């Protein structure tokens, strides 16, 4: 189906105000995207704390009434590896912490072009290991640990899960992957269909990838394109969420199937009539509210709190 009416109106507004991706660079796009940050809802009643996680800034989210140690989601934001950060995803982390009844640690990994591949991956893993080592001091139940994120952050989450599997832990209970990019080399039907005019267009993707992965040969590296990993077995169970009108839709769907083929439980949901980035639009786009609810339910099930 085409974009629904709400999504179409939002996309028209974004397209009308967006800069020409062929005429700007990563730093200019970062400044543009910072203008779209929306405040968190105080009704979520979340307490936050900013901490240095062995050199990687993180923000810890806990519900006001939380008493005992809570299970924790280590969250990696999207932004094409060149933009966004803790503030851009603050609203989403507040809502997920409330609905999933868990703590969240949001990771402010280094961005390109100042810091190129694999700096973001290394920061993502360092933050995860810091949580596993130090989380108990901050009210986190490190025996129930998940990783997740949206877009580039979802890619980082699944790459970190693979590195944790191969490099001595920590143990991860679940992966929450919201429209992940999983293959920088191949081209899918959805990438062709939604190449222009759907927020995450081909020009923007190339801007991000070329800034982050300087050596074209590295685009096929499993830390950049996890779908190309030689072994996807023994990864944590996954929840994969995609948007119908998104160039990355088929990458997410195919990755979920590849996980299943490798023996990894992977639940997959595609949301009709919406475009890339829709999950952050909860309260405006009905499908976003459903996706956040679904993500929270998946985390509660993984943590044994459902």
Those residues with Cβ within 8 angstroms of residue 53's Cβ, 6 or more apart along the chain or in another chain? 105, 107, 126, 127, 130, 131, 134
Q: Is 164 helix (H, G, I), strand (E, B) or coil?
A: helix
Q: Are 98 and 73 in contact (CB under 8 A)?
A: no
The whole-angstrom separation of Cα 244 and Cα 162 is 27
> What band does 93 get if pLDDT is binned at 50, 70 and 90?
very high
Q: How far apart are CA 173 and CA 147, in angstroms?
A: 8
pLDDT of residue 67: 85
Please say whether the beta carbons of 149 and 157 come within 8 A.
yes
Spatial separation of the C-alpha atoms in residues 142 and 135, rounded to whole Å:
6
Fold (CATH) for 5-303 = Rossmann fold (3.40.50)
> Which helix (DSSP H) or strand (DSSP E) does residue 60 occupy?
strand 56-63
51 CB-near residues (< 8 Å, 6+ apart): 57, 58, 59, 60, 138
For the residues 173-181, what does the mean pLDDT come to?
98
- List the catalytic residue out of 151, 190, 205, 225: 151
Tokens representing 125? Answer: 């893993």
68: annotated active-site residue: no
* Strand, coil or helix: 48: strand
Give the number of other CB atoms < 10 A from CB of residue 21.
17
Residue 246 is a catalytic residue: yes
DSSP 196: S
Check 108, 246, 270, 294 and give the catalytic one: 246
Asked if the peptide bond before residue 246 counts as cis, ω within 30 degrees of 0, the response is no
Please, which pLDDT band fits residue 243 given cuts at 50, 70 and 90?
very high
> Which of 77, 174, 221, 276 does the annotation list as catalytic?
276
Place of tokens 């995860």: 128
CB 2 within 8 A of CB 273: yes
Measure the N-to-C terminal CA separation of the chain; round to a whole number of Å. 33
In 3D space, the residue among 299, 303, 304, 301 whose CA is nearest the CA of residue 100 turns out to be 299
Which SS3 state, helix, strand or coil, does residue 70 take? strand
The yes-or-no verdict on residue 221 having pLDDT over 80 is: yes
pLDDT at 1: 64
Closest CA to 269 of 248, 243, 292, 231: 243
The C-alpha atoms of residue 275 and residue 46 are separated, in whole angstroms, by 28
Q: Is 276 a catalytic residue?
A: yes
Contact 52, 96 (CB under 8 A): no
What is the tens place of the pLDDT at every residue in 59-70? 999 999 998 899
Tell me which of 30-39, 183-192, 255-264, 266-275 is least confident.
30-39
């Amino acid at each position: 189906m085409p974009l629904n009416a709400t999504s179409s109106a939002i996309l028209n507004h974004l397209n009308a105000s967006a800069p020409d991706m062929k005429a700007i660079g990563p730093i200019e796009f970062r400044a543009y995207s910072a203008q779209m940050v929306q405040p968190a809802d105080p009704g979520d009643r979340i307490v936050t704390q900013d901490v240095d996680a062995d050199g990687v800034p993180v923000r810890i989210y806990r519900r006001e009434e939380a008493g005992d140690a809570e299970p924790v989601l280590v969250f990696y934001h999207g932004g094409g590896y060149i933009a966004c950060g803790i503030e851009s995803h603050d609203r989403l982390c507040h809502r997920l912490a409330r609905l999933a009844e868990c703590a969240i640690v949001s990771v402010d990994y280094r961005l390109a072009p100042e810091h190129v591949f694999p700096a973001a991956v290394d920061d993502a893993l360092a933050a995860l290991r810091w949580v596993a080592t130090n989380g108990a001091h901050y009210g986190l139940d490190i025996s129930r640990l998940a990783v997740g994120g949206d877009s580039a952050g979802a890619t980082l989450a699944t790459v970190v899960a693979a590195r944790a599997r191969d490099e001595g832990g920590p143990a991860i209970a679940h992966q929450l992957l919201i429209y992940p990019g999983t293959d920088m080399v191949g081209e899918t039907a959805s990438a062709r269909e939604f190449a222009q005019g759907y927020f995450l267009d081909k020009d923007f993707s190339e801007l991000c990838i070329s800034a982050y992965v300087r050596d074209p040969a590295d685009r096929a590296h499993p830390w950049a394109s996890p779908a190309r990993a030689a072994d996807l077995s023994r990864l944590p169970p996954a929840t994969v969420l995609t948007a119908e009108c998104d160039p990355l839709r088929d990458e997410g769907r195919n990755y979920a199937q590849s996980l299943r083929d490798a023996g990894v439980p992977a639940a997959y949901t595609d949301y009709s009539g919406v475009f890339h980035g829709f999950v952050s639009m909860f309260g405006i786009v009905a499908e976003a509210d459903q996706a956040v609810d679904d993500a929270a339910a998946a985390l509660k099930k993984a943590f044994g709190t459902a």
